[in-house]
Amino acid sequence: MLRALPEKVRAAFVMSQIRRLEIVTELAVSERMVKKYMARAMPHSTA
């Protein structure tokens, strides 16, 4: 359960999920497609 996680870890996870849903809505694509886009972009990121 998320409640067992440290507060900052839980907050980061929840924020990432909210942001993913915002991306789905903004781009009008499925959540699966957002995951594919992110996986495609990751090798090109410096983070």
Taking the C-alpha atoms of residue 11 and residue 40, their distance in angstroms, rounded to an integer, is 25
- The total of structural domains in the chain comes to 1
Given this model, what pLDDT does residue 47 score?
61
- pLDDT tens-digit map of 4-41: 999 999 999 999 999 999 999 999 999 999 999 999 99
Domain that holds residue 25: 2-44
Contacts of 31 (CB under 8 A, 6+ apart): 20, 21, 24
**The pTM is what?**
0.71
